[in-house]
Chain A
Amino acid sequence: MLLWTAFALMTGAAILAVLWPLRARAVGPAAPDAAADLAVYRDQLSEIERDRASGLIGEAEGEAARTEIARRMLRAADETAPVPDGSDTRRRAAAVVALVGVPLIAGGLYLALGSPELEGQPLAARLDARPEQADIAVLLRKVEGHLESNPDDGRGHEVVAPIYYRLGRVDDAARAWSNAIRLLGPNAARETGLGEALTAAAGGVVTADARQAFARAVAADPDSVKARYYLGLAAEQDGRKDEAGAIWGKLAADSPPDAPWLPTVRAGLERVGAPLPPVAAPAMPGPGAADVAAARDMTPEQRATMIRGMVEGLAQRLAQNGDDLDGWLRLVRAWSVLGEADKAKAAAGDARRHFADDAKATGRIDALTQELGLGS
């Protein structure tokens, strides 16, 4: 309400700026245009006079200049336009234009462009808001504020690190993980988180730092699946395909048959041309034991067709009902694993549209596309 009052006052002021000079008695007798010209020429004459007096110009020159200016004065007096008058009709027309036009143009454009329903949200006010009203982003800010004053709170760093990662702030995530490691000591989860963040920050390239982090994670906990997967990826990116194949092969062998990461690992193995482990258990929803059993006996082509069929089924399901975030994430990952980067990107785009209003969800989608190197 306050806002609309302010708008009304502003509009009123704007209209007044037009109406005030138009009011009937505002128009006094107009000074003829020539008066302004004549003032300038008189000034020029006095200047000539001064120059001549101080000897800057000679008598003859001064005289010539004077005649010239005198001629200009005469002409200015001649050219004087008829003294303008005011017409009541025009004045009324102008007033109507102002009265109607200003609110119409301003109101119309503003309603099309503005967001009158939105309050201003100064940061300080948001930070002061009670916790149950605060948004995630602000909560994160509060933790950050806390960490700024207590930079040695390792637990705090550990809590925010995965949040950063999911929000796509991978540089911050990497920093938070390394702080957590520094303060709380290394363990497999922290080192893996660090490595993952560093990899995402490098656009999907497992950098030397990231590789070392993963290696430390595996050293701390040999069962650390993610770290092992990334070590394989690092080997592949460095061109050591045999080594990648060995790492992933072992990882696949160590995994339970329904492990959700297996498809990713298998895709890697296929890329480096390493032998696929005997058990294939695509992490798609729905494949019953029979399907899995059937898959075991299939040729790779048949298997691919079957997996593809399942993925497409998932895609259809999501097209009809898109509220299943995990489903979307699986779909993106599946397309990516199948080497269909375009479809994966499209799926990620669809997912983002579905969850456009949900920062947390889009954060996860972004993190996933980042992880898969799909760009955005």
Chain B
Amino acid sequence: MIPEIGHYALVLALALAILQTVLPIWGARAGDEALMRVGPPLAIAFAGFVILSFAALVAVYVQSDFSVVNVVENSHSMKPLLYKITGTWGNHEGSMLLWVLVLALFGGTVALFGSNLPSRLKANVIGVQGSIGVAFLLFILLTSNPFLRMVPAPAEGRDLNPILQDIGLAIHPPLLYLGYVGFSVTFAFAIAALIDGRIDAAWARWVRPWALAAWAFLTVGIAMGSYWAYYELGWGGWWFWDPVENASLMPWFAGTALIHSAVVMEKRDALKVWTILLAILAFSLSLLGTFLVRSGVLTSVHAFATDPTRGVFILAILVAFIGGSLALFAWRAPLLRQGGIFAPVSREGALVLNNLLLTASAAAVLVGTLYPLALEAFNGEKITVGPPYFNVTVGALMLPVAFAMPFGPLLAWKRGDLVGVGQRLMAAFALALVAAGVVAVATEGGPVLAPFGIGLAAFVILGAVTDLAERAGLGRVSPGTMLARLRGLPRAAYGTMLAHAGIGICLLGIVAETSWSSERIIGAKPGDAFPVGGFELRLERLEPRTGPNYRDVAAVFSVRRGGVEEGTVESSKRIFTARNMPTTEAGIRTFGFSQLYVSVGDELPGGGIGVRAYYKPLVTLIWLGAVVMALGGALSLSDRRLRVGAPKPARRKQPAALPAAAE
């Protein structure tokens, strides 16, 4: 009964999504308040039925109900409970349902907390969200239905893939989806504005929390995916420029641009058309990412041949939403009123530069990802666009972004004073130079560009701190006033600082890891010792062991640094008995922000074992930086001013001691 309840709930959700698309937008066109008011309850009911349906699928997985095809294909009764649950979305059909679940949750949130929105805008937003729901539910029900049944039911499922039994892999798709689908809300706002032909600075303030939330989730999701690949694949790499990773990076670039241009729009009523375009782009790239990640449809043109209905359906969704929204944009955008003006050197100007470079980066990644597909479709030639392409293009485009980043927040709106800002950044710049110098001396003979990279990273971090210090009035007011000012600063200001500093931290990790990692590949026998990155590793023993559903051979290494014992690290080759499938468990030891990374390979003829050992200085900063960025986003989100549905400014408390002017 449970699978059929889930199935019916999904069908009902489709019916509601159709009404959710039609009624509120009709109401908004006709100016009918009653119809517009149908939107929020519909969105909430839609969410309710999708939740019910998803819960039913999870239940079916937990019960190992092998009368459901999807469970047979993707589960196994011997899986631990946790992985039975996460297995629900570890496959194409389930992940699509998860996607719709996230969509429904976002839609429900808009309906619940959107009481501060003008009714027409809200009705249109909910309507557009409904249309996305219709498309995806039709796709699920007609081509990727997780509730199809099987008679007679087999007694066992087919999948016990050990690589997929990993908590990182289980959490990372939902996080990415929270990011991807979060942009559906900003997309809906953009389309709603275009339908209505009316957009103003207030619109940007309503959109910003959604953009920020989506962006923060996406940031964490990307970082998590990267860390998963790092420890699970056993190669010590943290970014492969693989289509799946690129798919998540593109909406991130567009989303980053979006949260910045929305600020300009909110404060200055400018860049309106551009912001709308970015909102459309961010979601379009998210759609692309969704299909790249799970269905694998876009990784090869051949996939269309093997499953034409699914491929054509996906193509139709992409064309309808991307093409349709861009067409609507081309038609309606010129009708929007022009916004405020600003000088090239100004906060707006800096943000425009940031936007241009970010979108260019997204475009570069898009070209590199899709070019092989296009070429193969065109003349059958198979190529790969390697990491060097992405490193060169994205690197070259992001360097100026990083360098300009400290300047942006310090520039005034409308017309900025570049020289003045430069002076205020002098301290940060000088310190960054010192850092670069120290690094250059300390690592003489290493990569020449590395000290510059470190200097740049330091400049970004110190620049973020400078911005905060400037706002507090460092050096101009008394410490007590400063503290009061710091306390009075909006949380968004801290959010900006954290997010920018996070970029610097991440950059620091990237530069250090790529410049000074040491790697060693050898064949070692028990008793052999070898140096790597200032450590001495000694293969103590090879230890066969038996786990609950696997056997493994663990290589235990003792770690010494400068003659001092630092404990052990072990890596193992594991064989999952059910499928006779080997995996490598990398051994990782963290020292400060740096990591020692060991993975073992096959046993060698002479009784030894292949060993790959790395020392990766400051590598954890890469992911910590991303987490700091996301925290910045979350902090901005918690800003009173952006709080969705919050009543008018409640308090305008000014510390009485605050002098009116320090100048």
Binding site for B on A (CB under 8 A): 2-3, 6-7, 10-11, 13-14, 17-18, 20-22, 26-27, 30-31, 33-37, 39-44, 46-47, 49-50, 53-59, 61, 64-65, 68, 72, 75-76, 79, 81-82, 84-87, 90-91, 94, 97-98, 101-102, 105-106, 109-110, 113-116, 118-124, 126, 135, 137-138, 140-141, 171, 357, 359
Contacts and interface: CB of A to CB of B under 8 A. Distances in A.
Given A86-B32, A113-B141, A118-B149, 16 more contacts: A13-B48, A17-B42, A21-B38, A46-B652, A61-B414, A68-B269, A76-B202, A82-B31, A84-B33, A90-B34, A109-B141, A114-B11, A120-B60, A137-B153, A359-B152, A359-B154
Contacts of B34: 21-22, 26-27, 86-87, 90-91, 94
Interface of B: 1-5, 7-9, 11-12, 14-16, 18-19, 22-23, 26-27, 30-38, 40-42, 44-45, 48-49, 52, 60, 63-67, 77, 116-121, 141, 145, 147-149, 151-156, 198, 200-202, 205-206, 266-269, 340, 412-414, 471, 473, 477, 485, 488, 490, 580, 641, 648-649, 652, 654, 658-663
Contacts of A35: 118
Given A84-B36, A85-B33, A31 B119 contact: yes
Give the one of B12, B40, B45, B660 with max A CB within 10 A.
B12
13 contacts: A26-B37, A37-B200, A47-B490, A76-B200, A84-B119, A86-B33, A87-B34, A109-B14, A115-B148, A120-B2, A120-B60, A123-B77, A135-B152
A113 B8 CA distance: 10
Contacts, number: 244
B49 A53 contact: no
A122 B44 CA distance: 31
A299 to B, nearest CB: 47
Contacts of B38: 18, 21-22, 94
Contacts of A82: 31
A126 B8 CA distance: 24
Nearest to B39: A21
Nearest to A45: B649
Contacts of B641: 43, 47
Chain A interface, >50% SS class: helix
Nearest to B154: A137
Contacts of B152: 135, 137, 357, 359
A192 B385 CA distance: 51
Nearest to A108: B11
Contacts of B658: 53-54
A50 B652 contact: yes
Contacts of A86: 32-35
Contact of B488 (A49, A50, A68, A171): A50
B12 A68 contact: no
B14 A20 contact: no
Contacts of A50: 488, 652, 654
A14 B49 contact: yes
A123 B660 CA distance: 73
Nearest to B654: A53
A97 B15 CA distance: 11
Contacts of B3: 118, 120
Given A124-B63, A135-B155, A17 B12 contact: no
A57 B7 CA distance: 58
Contact of A10 (B33, B49, B121): B49
A141 B155 contact: yes
Contacts of A42: 648-649
A106 B67 contact: no
A30 B64 CA distance: 51
A55 B485 CA distance: 10
With a 10 A CB-CB cut-off, give which of B77, B116, B200, B268 has the most chain A CB atoms. B200
A118 B202 contact: no
Contact of A109 (B11, B117, B156): B11
A13 B118 contact: no
Closest 8 CB pairs of A and B: A137-B155, A17-B45, A122-B63, A33-B118, A86-B34, A123-B64, A40-B202, A105-B15
